[in-house]
Amino acid sequence: MKKPFFWILSLAAAVSFSAKLQEEDLTKCLVKVKHEWSKPCAQCTDYKKSYRVYFRNNCAEKLDVKCAAQEADLRWRTFSRLSVAPGDTVTAYACKGTGKYLYWVRPAGDASQPFLSDEEINEQFRNQ
């Protein structure tokens, strides 16, 4: 009786470890490729302090991505893109940026791993 119970616990631990490893591996799929300061921006009235950061999906699978760039007032401007194809680029910007950015990834269409809301991001990462 003890062997099957131990085997079930081992299997559960392996599945949990595999899911965590897969999540960590997906984080490595999105790679910062460049950033720019003070580039013209249609969304910003004064772009002299604008900050733009570019990420590329370097993996072979589609990803859902949420990224954010921090404004001078420490609020995060967020952007979500679903089903980012391999090789595609995602951009985040701030009109008066600090140069800080955040991003989250998940397998495309995987709603079981919800992204943080904009409010949660601004609460949890305000001073970072």
Token pair in block for residue 11: 């299997």
Does pLDDT of 7 surpass 50?
Answer: no
Q: How many CA atoms lie within 13 A of 10 on its CB side?
A: 6
Q: Per-residue pLDDT tens for 92-106? A: 999 999 999 999 999
Q: Per-residue pLDDT tens for 49-79? A: 999 999 999 999 999 999 999 999 999 999 9
SS3 2: helix
What pLDDT does 84 receive?
97
Q: How far is the first Cα of the chain from the last one, in angstroms, to the nearest whole number?
A: 51
What pLDDT does 100 receive?
97
Give, for 76, the enclosing helix (H) or strand (E). Answer: strand 76-84
Reference 108, options 92, 125, 88; nearest CA is 88
